[in-house]
Structure 1
Amino acid sequence: MGKIYEKLTDRLREFVTTQPVFFVATAPEQGGHVNVSPKGYSDTFAVIDDTTVAYLDLDGSGVETIAHIRENGRVTLMFCAFSGPPKIVRLFGTGRVVTPGDAGFADLLTLFGPHPGVRSVIVVSCDRIADSCGYAVPFMAYEQDRTLLDEWAGRKDVQQRRDYRAKHNRESIDGLPALGPAETDPVTQHS
């Protein structure tokens, strides 16, 4: 059934980079809420090397992943095959949040397609790479990406995005710190 890998093989790289959606799971160190976030847009995920991946973190309704990663680093990414052979791949590891003011941010942005509303890049160093069967995962047909998030961010000017982030992205739903005041300033950041 399942297998553990020391690195992302060519076959695993192909699988994770071609899935139209993946899921990110994090949790606070003590109590609080476990968070699972779906991520879309095929050009927002990248394999950096054999054990490191990254994804583009865009403006959205919450900031749980950033808060949890900054508190304890734990993160799991899950990819499911909704078409073709049944397969699930989980990437367990330690995440770090790279914001526009951090060294290396501009280089990381080159890995992704153009999107307005970029908050950060989440980089994950994988310490466990595992697959398993997806025998119970249903077949579903991918039609297209929803463009609503990019459209929403594209309609906001810098001050509106600054206000939104200051109101919604400073702390998690459990009160953990997330983006600091300087990190909520979107200036003209665009991937």
Structure 2
Amino acid sequence: MAKQFPDLDDAKRKFIEDQHMFFVGTAAADGRVNISPKGMDSLRVLGPNRIIWMNLTGSGNETAGHLLEINRMTLMWCSFTTRPMILRTYGTARTLHIGDDDWDELAAHFPDHRSARQIYDVDIDLVQTSCGYAVPFMEYQSDRETMQKWVDGKSDDDIRAYWVEKNQHTIDGKPTQVPS
């Protein structure tokens, strides 16, 4: 049975920190709903109602476009090991790009990554847990090296050119404001 909470306590924070991946859900007023898996060392819980995560370059940029229109965001984690549980945080998020006032302060929470595209600062207004009984057991092996190899083979200008080509609009044609 699902249970709701106003914030993240220490046990829920530890659950989040123990997971190797999470999912992000956003939607604009119209068009497609986006759900994206995220990994690597890209998320920090800063308090009972605040999470930040660094978004690295990818083939799309739906989250940024959706948040320009409606700033709601859902984050979800599920346990693939030990105790079954699904945890969701619901709230609003603001998008930060390189050069924005808070970028350096928030980026300092993460390892440097040349393909960092945005940081999302999430204000949580509801936390929900549910059973996760149907989530399969899976074993974590390691992070993929594909992203880092891609970045290592590109100059900073190459990465920015990729953003211009692939990341300036959502699949529904909405702008994302990713810098070029």
- TM-score bucket (shorter structure): over 0.9
Q: Which ranges in structure 2 are unaligned for 5 or more consecutive residues?
A: none
For the pair 1:130 / 2:135, whether they are aligned, the reply is: no
In the alignment, which residue of structure 2 is the partner of 1:8? 8
Q: TM-score, normalised by structure 2?
A: 0.96
Q: C-alpha root-mean-square deviation of aligned residues, in Å?
A: 1.0
**Counterpart of 2:92 in 1: which secondary structure?**
strand
Matched residue type, 2:12: L
**Counterpart of 1:69 in 2: which secondary structure?**
helix
In the alignment, which residue of structure 2 is the partner of 1:157? 155
Contact 2:60 2:166 in 1 (8 A): yes
Following the alignment from structure 1 to structure 2, what is the Cα–Cα distance between the partners of residues 73 and 154? 33
Q: Which ranges in structure 1 are unaligned for 5 or more consecutive residues?
A: 185-191
For the pair 1:35 / 2:34, whether they are aligned, the reply is: yes
**Counterpart of 1:159 in 2: which secondary structure?**
helix
Contact 1:59 1:119 in 2 (8 A): yes
Contact 1:8 1:50 in 2 (8 A): yes
Correspondence list, 1:101-116, <5 A: 101-116=99-114
**Counterpart of 1:13 in 2: which secondary structure?**
helix
Match 1:121 to one of 119, 122, 134:
119
Q: C-alpha displacement at 1:176, in angstroms?
A: 0.6
Q: How many residues align?
A: 180
**Counterpart of 2:138 in 1: which secondary structure?**
coil
**Counterpart of 2:127 in 1: which secondary structure?**
strand
- Once the two structures are overlaid, the 10-residue window that deviates more, 149-158 or 62-71, is 149-158
In the alignment, which residue of structure 1 is the partner of 2:21? 21
In the alignment, which residue of structure 2 is the partner of 1:187? none
Correspondence list, 1:53-92, <5 A: 53-92=51-90
Contact 1:117 1:154 in 2 (8 A): no
Matched residue type, 1:112: F
Q: TM-score, normalised by structure 1?
A: 0.91
Contact 1:59 1:153 in 2 (8 A): no
Following the alignment from structure 1 to structure 2, what is the Cα–Cα distance between the partners of residues 128 and 45? 18
- Cα-to-partner distance string for 1:71-116 (whole Å, 9 max, x where unaligned): 1001100000000100000011111111111111111111112322
In the alignment, which residue of structure 2 is the partner of 1:189? none
Following the alignment from structure 2 to structure 1, what is the Cα–Cα distance between the partners of residues 98 and 23? 23
